[in-house]
Amino acid sequence: MRRLGRLVVAGGLALAISLVALMTSPASAGGRVFVGVGVGFPFWGFPYPYAYPFPYPYPAYPAFAPPVAVQSQPTTFVQQESPSYWYYCQASQAYYPYVSECPGGWLQVAPQPPPPGTAPPR
């Protein structure tokens, strides 16, 4: 029994000295120290497929229906001929807008193309 007690004391003293020695020198040198007690086989984590957690699933996006394209018939416009008139002033013998005022009143005249060879007034 005395021998077992001496062995325990010697082991504890050796452990304490090694811990003090390990804490002072590598820590000041910037190294890492691991002291542990292992029972059975060493454990370094899970094997590769389970080493990392599963990634988050992609968010589900709602399925949108494609836009409905309705082809319609092209719209046809029919321009109705509106009666257009020229306004003639008999007092000044000229047409509107060349004369802005007519003292005797304006005369409504159907438009006529100019005679060939004449240039439009400027």
3-state secondary structure of 19: helix
Per residue in 16-73, pLDDT (tens digit) is 787 766 666 554 556 666 777 666 666 666 566 555 666 777 777 777 888 888 888 8
List helix spans (H) across 1-122: 2-29
Q: Which whole-number Å values give the CA distances from 96 to 86, 106, 111, 116, in the listed order?
A: 7, 9, 12, 21
Statement: residue 2 has pLDDT above 80:
no
Where are the chain's structural domains? 1-33, 84-112
Q: Name the percent of the chain lying above pLDDT 90.
A: 7
3-state secondary structure of 43: coil
Per residue in 21-36, pLDDT (tens digit) is 666 655 455 666 677 7
> Quick one: pLDDT at residue 102?
92
pTM of the model: 0.29
> Quick one: pLDDT at residue 22?
65
Q: Of 8, 5, 28, which is closest to residue 16 (Cα–Cα)? A: 8
